Amino acid sequence: MTGPLKSWLDVALSDLAPAARDRMTAEYHAHVQDATHSGLTEPEAVATLGDPTQVNRALRRTYATEKLAAQYRTPSRRLWRVLLLLYVGYTSLMILNNLEDRADLLRHLPGPLTGLTLLLALMALMKLHPTSYTWTLGARVLVLPLMTGQWITALITPGRDTLDLSFLIVLPFALVGMVWNAHCTARRVHRTLKLDGQA
C-alpha cells in the first residue's frame, strides 16, 4: 500500500475493530485502484475519499471501536445471575418490610415486581436469542429494571414532593434515551463482530 492511501487510512480507520478495519481497507483500496485506472493520480484518487477525520466519525457510527467490540465480545453470564439474586433479595426485603400494613405492601410491591419481571424478560431474550446484539443491549440497559421499579413505586406512593415529581417526569425520557443509545451501540457491536464471524 502506498504512502498517500496509507496515511489517509491511518486516520480514517483509527481505533476501529480489526474486522471493520480490514473490510474498509479493502473497500477503499479498491476505490482508489478504480480511480487511478480512470486516469487520476493516486493523491487525486485519495482526495476523492473525503476528509479522513469526518470519515472516521461516520464509520464509528456504523462500526464499533476496538475497545467497544472487545468489551462485549464475551458476555458475562455471572453478572446477570448476581443481579438476579440481588433483585430477588430486594423484592423479598420490600415484602418483609411491609407485611404488617397491607396498604403499604400493595403500594410498595408493584415497583419491585415490575422490575423483576423486566429483568427476567431481558434474561429470557438473551437466552432465546444469544447474539452479540442481545448481550450488548442487555448489558447497556442493566439499570432499566431497577429504575422502572423505582419510578412505579414513586408514582403510586402518596405524599410526593417536588423532587419526586421531577423524578416522575424526567425518568421516562431518560430511560427512552438510554434504550435508544443501547440499541444503536448493540447494532454497531453486532455488525462489527459479524464481520469477524463472532456474532
Residue the block writes with cell 432465546: 128
Same-domain check for residues 110 and 53: no
As for how many domains the chain has, the answer is: 2
Residue 146 structural domain: 71-195
- What are the backbone dihedrals phi and psi of residue 13, each rounded to the nearest 5 degrees, phi first? -105, 15
> How many CB atoms within 10 Å of residue 186?
23
Same-domain check for residues 50 and 137: no
Same-domain check for residues 134 and 49: no
Cβ neighbours for 22, distance < 8 A, ≥ 6 positions apart: 195
Same-domain check for residues 83 and 150: yes
Q: Model pTM?
A: 0.79
HSE-CB of 136 using CA atoms within 13 angstroms: 25
Same-domain check for residues 90 and 174: yes
Q: Indicate whether 137 belongs to any domain.
A: yes
Same-domain check for residues 35 and 132: no
Same-domain check for residues 169 and 80: yes
Instruction: Per residue of the chain (199 residues), give pLDDT as tens.
Output: 568 889 999 999 999 999 999 999 999 999 999 988 888 888 888 998 899 999 999 999 999 999 888 888 777 778 888 888 888 888 888 778 777 777 777 777 888 889 999 999 988 988 888 888 998 998 889 889 988 988 888 888 766 666 677 778 889 999 999 999 999 999 999 999 988 776 5
